[in-house]
Structure 1
Amino acid sequence: MSDKTAKHKQPWKPEELQRLRSLAGKGKGLKEIAKALNRTEESTKEAAKQHGMEIKKLR
């Protein structure tokens, strides 16, 4: 199993959402945030949207 599918369709844990919020708040890009969280860019973007977060640099 590759790293990209390691968390396929797994729910987001509170600590992952907290880290997502922190990284997005620091102005990190989508690709960098997704890699740091071991999530796909699409999953990261959707989680941010669902939790009212904005990722400034989407690419």
Structure 2
Amino acid sequence: MSERFERHRQPWKQEEIAKLHALAKKGQSLKSIAKALTRSEESVKDRAKADGLSISKLR
């Protein structure tokens, strides 16, 4: 079963964006970044794409 995220459609905060950038630069997987930010993988993927980040798809 997939995890439920109660923050559905919530705007991104500056701290979250900074953490996303830091984790992506470290080579973290999409799943681990989503879990760290308590956001869905789809949300993280969309935000990373908008910011021009590449995220490892492994694990």
Give TM class, smaller chain: 0.7 to 0.9
Question: Structure 2 counterpart of 1:16, which letter?
Answer: E
Q: What TM-score do the two structures reach when normalised by structure 1?
A: 0.87
* Displacement after TM superposition at 1:31 (Å): 0.1
What pairs with 1:31-50 in structure 2 (closer than 5 Å)? Answer: 31-50=31-50
In structure 2, runs of 5+ residues without a counterpart are: none
For 1:1-31, what per-residue CA distance to the aligned partner results, in whole angstroms no more than 9, with x for missing partners? xx73221000111110000000000000000
SS at 1:5 equivalent: coil
For 1:18-47, what per-residue CA distance to the aligned partner results, in whole angstroms no more than 9, with x for missing partners? 000000000000000000000000000000
Instruction: Report the aligned-residue RMSD.
Output: 1.2
SS at 1:4 equivalent: coil
Question: Structure 1 counterpart of 2:38, which letter?
Answer: N
Q: What TM-score do the two structures reach when normalised by structure 2?
A: 0.87
Query: How many residues matched?
Result: 56
What pairs with 1:1-59 in structure 2 (closer than 5 Å)? Answer: 4-55=4-55, 57-59=56-58
